[in-house]
A and B are shown apart, each in its own frame.
Chain A
Amino acid sequence: MIDRPLLSVRGLTKRYGDRLGCLDVGFDLWPGEVLGIVGESGSGKTTVLRCLAGGIEATAGWAEFVERDGTVVDVLRLPEAARRRLARTDWAMVQQNPRDGLRMNVTAGANIGEPLMAVGARHYGHIRAAALQWLTQVEIPCDRIDDLPTAFSGGMQQRLQIARCLVTRPRLVFMDEPTGGLDVSVQARLLDLLRGLANELRLSALVVTHDLAVARLLAHRLLVMRGGEIVEAGLTDRVLDDPQHPYTQLLVSSVLQP
């Protein structure tokens, strides 16, 4: 069944004028796999993510994505309409700041229901039921369904965003620092939840983080980036326990131990 990667990226390069965003980035993401990208700030992680998920235009390279019906498209050269259709159906993006990924002026239920309505759901009862089911999945009490996200804590907002992203059953989820900005205990709970959902739904995901602990818990494989280039790639445990590249060794050894 699995005979080709869901997403293949080769030679992805982005230049901001004279400055380099990322250079010759290539990787394969297989169905059901969570791939982590780690590296320090400014190493080009987010550039890679935004070139793929939309937002900025890549300078060179290609990225082939296999759609539900088996057609292969180069996401770097998709017309706007097709890209937005993909973003509504097959993809989802979890933002670091839940305020960027949620509509703060409509209720939690509407936030979860909106992606469904965007793909044509027109039955209020069914939308409501899906919203309640997803609130339960992300451990938000069901009686909060008609509250505004502004009335939620940071951790609840992030969980609400995850529910909103997953309600359309996307085949590829992009996450940009999904636990950034949350305190440690909330982070742990969110990571636990994300890991559970990823296993349960067999999510394919690309997770960008600077936090090696997040990468360890979520990702099956890791790419280590520095100065816009991939310096090391491999299984998460191998990369973190037996780093080969000097930069990875530095990165792993500079994690603070409480």
Chain B
Amino acid sequence: MSAYNFGYLDEHTKRMVRRAILKAVAIPGYQVPFGSREMPLSYGWGTGGVQVTASIIGPDDVLKVIDQGADDTTNAVSIRRFFARTTGVRTTTRTREATIIQTRHRIPETPLRAGQIAVFQVPIPEPLRWLEPREAETRAMHALEEYGIMHVRLYEDIALHGRVATAYDYPVRANGRYIMRPSPIPKFDNPKLDRNPALLLFGAGREKRIYAVPPWTKVESLDFEDHPFAVERWDQPCALCGSRESFLDEVIVDDKGGRMFICSDTDYCRERREPAP
């Protein structure tokens, strides 16, 4: 522990990241460039999220890390251990107890409350990237609010599949201004972004961008008037806890075609199965 500075990063780096976070909070959805550092994990495993968490974490914080909703997957376990070793803070798997929740691909089912911070790991922060490859051009498009092209993507979905088939990383508009990629969360979680009491921070390490949604900010998912935004539903409840409200994963249980649907949020599922205290 004493071999590392608190939270692994040096203080100058943390200050630089915090400045980027402050700017990001001031302009919801705007991608702030920052000097991303090499981290002791590979790109694509959450280098952006780790740097954001390392810059905001304090000795009194309680950290929860999830990957696809689960607390016990490789990525989540590694990052949780990394912070336990480099900061000594208390870690938890319980959403209610955590003050900082670093997440990949999900927002917890248990509603976040004011004072909590969710840190998202973002692979590609630019929502216009696949439609317009030129970085200079996408910046001009953001600056001038030229967002017609975002609907081209939705149009293509409806024309080719009969409905908006984009199921994750569904584009949103933050505070009526910037179009933003909510990281690869399923569109099921998009409504949770809207007017969330918690602070939502997004870090992209490889692309060197940080953006944010401050508490209680309006976040709308893009749609057409005659094809309104809708989230997916399952025709069966969770096989373990019986929830009909949560996002379900399909799990193959044998090699004879057996399968079950269970909550992707393991903490939520566990809490529902435990007897009330």
Could you list which residues of chain A lie within 8 angstroms of chain B, going by C-beta atoms? 80-81, 84, 88, 103, 106-107, 109-110, 113-120, 122-125, 127-128, 145-146
Contact = CB atoms under 8 A, between A and B. Distances in A.
Contacts of B41: none
Contacts of A103: 131, 152
Nearest to A123: B225
Closest 6 CB pairs of A and B: A118-B148, A117-B148, A124-B224, A117-B151, A123-B225, A110-B152
B156 A80 contact: no
Given A106-B156, A107-B159, A146-B159, A123 B226 contact: yes
B4 to A, nearest CB: 46
Contact of B155 (A80, A88, A117): A117
19 contacts: A84-B144, A88-B148, A103-B152, A106-B156, A109-B155, A110-B156, A110-B159, A113-B155, A114-B148, A117-B151, A117-B152, A118-B148, A120-B148, A124-B155, A124-B158, A124-B224, A127-B155, A128-B159, A145-B159
Interface of B: 131, 140, 144, 146, 148-149, 151-152, 155-156, 158-160, 224-227
Nearest to A81: B144
A116 B156 CA distance: 14
Contacts of B148: 88, 114-120
A128 B140 CA distance: 28
A107 B146 contact: no
Contacts of A110: 152, 155-156, 159
Nearest to A114: B152
A109 B224 contact: no
Contacts of B149: 114, 117-118
Contacts of A125: 226
Contact of B151 (A80, A109, A122): A122
Which of A107, A120, A122, A145 counts the most chain B CB atoms within 10 A? A122
A110 to B, nearest CB: 5
Contacts of A81: 144
A57 to B, nearest CB: 16
A140 B224 CA distance: 26
Given A106-B152, A106-B156, A118 B146 contact: yes
A122 to B, nearest CB: 5
Nearest to B223: A122
Contacts of B152: 103, 106, 110, 113-114, 117
Contacts of B158: 124
A123 B224 contact: yes
A88 B149 CA distance: 12
A93 to B, nearest CB: 16
A88 B147 CA distance: 12
Contacts of B226: 123-125
Contacts of B155: 109-110, 113, 117, 124, 127
A124 B152 CA distance: 10
A106 B159 CA distance: 11
Contacts of A146: 159-160
A80 B160 CA distance: 35
A107 B157 CA distance: 11
